[in-house]
Amino acid sequence: MAAVRFRGKNSFVRLLSGLAAAVVLGGVMAAAPHALVEPAAAATSPDPDSSRPVYRFWSEGYGNSHFYTLDYDDAQNLHSTDGWWTYEGTDFRVWPLENGSCPEATTPVYRFWSPKFTSHFYTVSGSEADALRQGDPNWDAEGVRFCAASEPGPGLTAVYRFWSSAFNKHFYTANASEAERLRTSDPKWAYEGIEMYAPTSGAASPPVTGEAAPRMGCQAPDMSSAIAAHDAARIVRLFGGAGTFRDAVASGRASCVPLDDPALPWVLVNKQNPVSPIDYVPASLTGGLRTEVAGSYADMQRDAAGAGAGSIGLTSGYRSYSTQAGIHRYQVGRLGVEDGERLAARPGYSEHQLGLAADVVACGGGGCGSLYDFAGTSQERWVRENSWRYGWIVRYEQGQTATTGYNAEPWHLRYIGTELARAYHDGGYRTLESFLGAPSAPNY
Ligand SMILES: [Zn+2]
């Protein structure tokens, strides 16, 4: 990860400040190590009286992310309305900006946000901030929100900085015993040194009050029972709806949600993800599809005809492991492995085994066409534009072979549930892999 590489480049600088901090943390406030970082006598010392403590938040849902803000409205709002974040109290003191600049003898703290790592990063180092701005596309500069001291001095205390390559997150604290505990007994966090110095006294920040918003996502108290019950609708609701569910899954904030459980409608089956267990059989089938989705298929078929698009026929719904073995053998025998496998899945790797896939054809007059006649029919156009309303997506679109591993199959519909299919349609997704933030699966 780029952030890790970036940290590495600074390890020498960090090591120097780390030496001083290690001594402080160990409780030996010896004078000598301070010489490493002691500045030439500062012309003026920052005035502690106008300093205020930052509000500190933690999010398990964002992968052990921490967030620090001096903005009371931000903090109160997060606490009251955003169930992804837990208010942890106030932490180190900083100075607010005065008319857009830092008070005398204080240093700007640059704030960055990474959508990729879903975390904030703070630094007082102008060169580190410059390097991130210019050389690291993973981080968006958010400007300066508050100011700190960059050198130690009377009435100042260290703010310790940690990095976790397990979580891809930074963490800061002025609490020496918390820092000591992380440094000595939590292997997931690497101590990076003293980031800044904070005054030990000053003004108060207005208190964050009232009830916290209900916990979201994997932190929701009901989540484990919803997952145990395979209650897809409740799981999605506990994430705040299909859109936020999708974002959480795709960004790795939904580790409690299985993507390989065939009982859940978003189950991912492709050349990298076989059906699990590989000989899975749906508990109940109706009209060639899993019973839960047979109704939505019938509605779709009825509405296509009602809209004047013509009649749609189901040529293949559920296929067992052994049926798929026969199809795979036939296509590979006919076309060779490479071309055959762009058409037919290996047994255990077909969505048809889930009972959640439907191969449809256009029917009318004298009978039904074949799969290969489906493209360009009025039925095909209607299905492409409307199937999402019934919970179905066209799974293998033109131009997506590098992601899906299959040639375009306008006839192969996959049920993912009506809420998710709407989010898929509204978000303009072309593959289930990109919708779920899963890696491409061009090959076995
Ligand atoms: Zn199919």
- Contacts (Cβ under 8 Å, ≥6 apart) of 51: 93, 94, 95, 198, 199, 201, 202, 203
Candidate list 341, 351, 409, 433, residue with the active-site label? 409
394 vs 412: CA distance, rounded Å = 6
Cβ atoms of residues 21 and 27 within 8 Å: no
What's the angle, vertex CA 102, arms to CA 99 and CA 107, rounded to 5? 165
User: What is the structure's pLDDT at 306?
Assistant: 97
Among residues 321, 303, 322, which one has the least CA distance to residue 312? 303
The domain defined by 260-436 folds into: Muramoyl-pentapeptide Carboxypeptidase; domain 2 (3.30.1380)
What is the CA(346)–ligand 1 centre distance, in A?
12
369-426 tens-digit pLDDT: 999 999 999 999 999 999 999 999 999 999 999 999 999 999 999 999 999 999 999 9
3-state secondary structure of 163: strand
Which residues have their alpha-adjacent CB atom under 5 A from ion ligand 1? 359, 412
Could you say which residues of the chain have pLDDT below 70?
1-43
Domain boundaries, the chain: 2-40+47-199, 216-257, 260-436
Asked if residue 277 has a cis previous peptide bond (ω within 30° of 0), the answer is: yes
DSSP 372: G
Query: Rounded distance, CA 38 to CA 36, Å?
Result: 6
pTM of this structure: 0.74
CA of 261 to the centre of ligand 1 (A): 20
- Strand ranges, E, within 38-150: 52-59, 65-69, 86-94, 107-114, 119-123, 140-148
Tokens of 343: 């058409």
> Does the annotation count 192 as an active-site position?
no
pLDDT tens digit string along 341-365?
988 899 999 999 999 999 999 999 8
Residue 12's DSSP bridge partners are none
pLDDT at site 117: 86
Three-state SS at 242: helix
- pLDDT, position 387: 98
Q: How far is the CA of 269 from the centre of ligand 1 (A)?
A: 12
Which residues contact residue 30 at a Cβ distance below 8 angstroms, ignoring those fewer than 6 apart?
23
pLDDT for position 43: 53
pLDDT for position 12 = 31
Give 342 Cα–ligand 1 centroid separation in angstroms. Answer: 12
**Residues paired with 112 in a beta bridge:** 121, 141
